[in-house]
């Protein structure tokens, strides 16, 4: 084992700055280093391995407190317990990220419809309850027929189905919640041409799957849905134009 890495060498190899390395040692995330007679820190290969683990944990969105807890398992020298801890942390962060996606997509619809509302009524005088400055129209479903752009500009002049959704903001929030509950039954996601294939486990409510796919096709016509049954199990295949692939992934997940 090499025990002669100076802090600049470790910074170059790990991608962490020298200041970060000193801070990690200060808070106990890195073990205290040996030093040369002149007082320079010396690191070994084990430290580089530990920093690679820390970098991966940071990539997965872990906080320093979470990394410190995970490092206890990593110090045991067995991969299994580390994976068990990481699996739980990643599951929690995935649920949080999906909720943020729901909130951002809902906010997108509210902002775009607010922008449209400001064009509908400009009173000659003070603001009133219809101008959109101090109140909403209070009827989300009444706005549902007005498509909210999610990607490419909603323009049918070129014969291309626009990347847009006709759901109101509250209806969209409910729809996304329904999808998240159903997608909890997915056991794997595979890439397919133009989209992904989500395979569902036993106990999946097929009537709900069919209902949601049909409802989604109605409001987001840029999606294409197919429900398949074969030796691999029951699956939902979802396809979209390239411009809408990020929307597809935000709703249905990322292929493995």
pLDDT in tens, 136-170: 544 444 444 444 555 544 444 455 677 777 877 67
Domains of the chain from N-terminus onward: 7-77 (1.10.1660.10), 96-252 (no CATH)
- Percentage of the chain modeled with pLDDT above 90: 38
What separation in angstroms does the CA of 195 have from each of 71, 127, 162, 166?
Answer: 37, 46, 17, 21
Q: What pLDDT score was predicted for residue 152? A: 46
Q: What pLDDT score was predicted for residue 2? A: 59
What distance in Å separates the CA atoms of residue 98 and residue 86, rounded to the nearest whole number?
18
Looking at the predicted structure, is the pLDDT value of residue 129 above 80? no
Residues in CB range of 181: below 8 A, 6 or more apart:
none
Q: What pLDDT score was predicted for residue 143? A: 44
Q: Express each pLDDT in 67-125 by its tens digit.
A: 999 998 898 888 998 898 888 888 888 777 767 776 776 777 677 667 767 777 788 88
Looking at the predicted structure, is the pLDDT value of residue 60 above 70? yes
Q: What pLDDT score was predicted for residue 155? A: 47
pTM across the whole model? 0.57
Looking at the predicted structure, is the pLDDT value of residue 244 above 50? yes
Q: Are 176 and 102 spatial neighbours (Cβ–Cβ below 8 Å)? A: yes
Q: What pLDDT score was predicted for residue 21? A: 95
């Amino acid at each position: 084992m090499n025990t002669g890495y100076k802090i600049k060498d470790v910074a170059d190899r790990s991608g962490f700055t020298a200041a970060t390395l000193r801070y990690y040692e200060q808070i106990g995330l890195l073990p205290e280093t040996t030093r040369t007679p002149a007082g320079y820190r010396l690191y070994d290969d084990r430290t580089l391995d530990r920093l690679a683990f820390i970098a991966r944990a940071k990539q997965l969105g872990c906080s320093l407190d979470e990394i410190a807890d995970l490092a206890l398992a990593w110090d045991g020298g067995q991969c299994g317990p580390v994976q068990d801890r990481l699996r739980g942390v990643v599951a929690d962060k995935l649920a949080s990220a999906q909720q943020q996606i729901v909130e951002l997509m809902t906010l997108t619809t509210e902002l775009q419809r607010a922008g449209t509302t400001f064009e509908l009524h400009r009173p000659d005088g003070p603001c009133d309850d219809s101008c959109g400055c101090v109140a909403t129209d209070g009827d989300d479903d009444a706005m549902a027929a007005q498509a909210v752009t999610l990607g490419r500009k909603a323009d049918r002049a070129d014969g291309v189905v626009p990347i847009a959704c006709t759901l109101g903001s509250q209806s969209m929030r409910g729809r996304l919640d329904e999808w998240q509950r159903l997608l909890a039954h997915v056991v794997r996601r595979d890439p397919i041409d133009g989209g992904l294939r989500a395979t569902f486990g036993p106990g999946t409510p097929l009537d709900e799957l069919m209902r949601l796919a049909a409802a989604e096709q109605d409001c987001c016509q840029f999606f294409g849905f197919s429900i398949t049954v074969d030796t691999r199990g029951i699956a939902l295949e979802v396809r979209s134009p390239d411009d809408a692939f990020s929307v597809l992934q935000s709703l249905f997940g990322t292929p493995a």
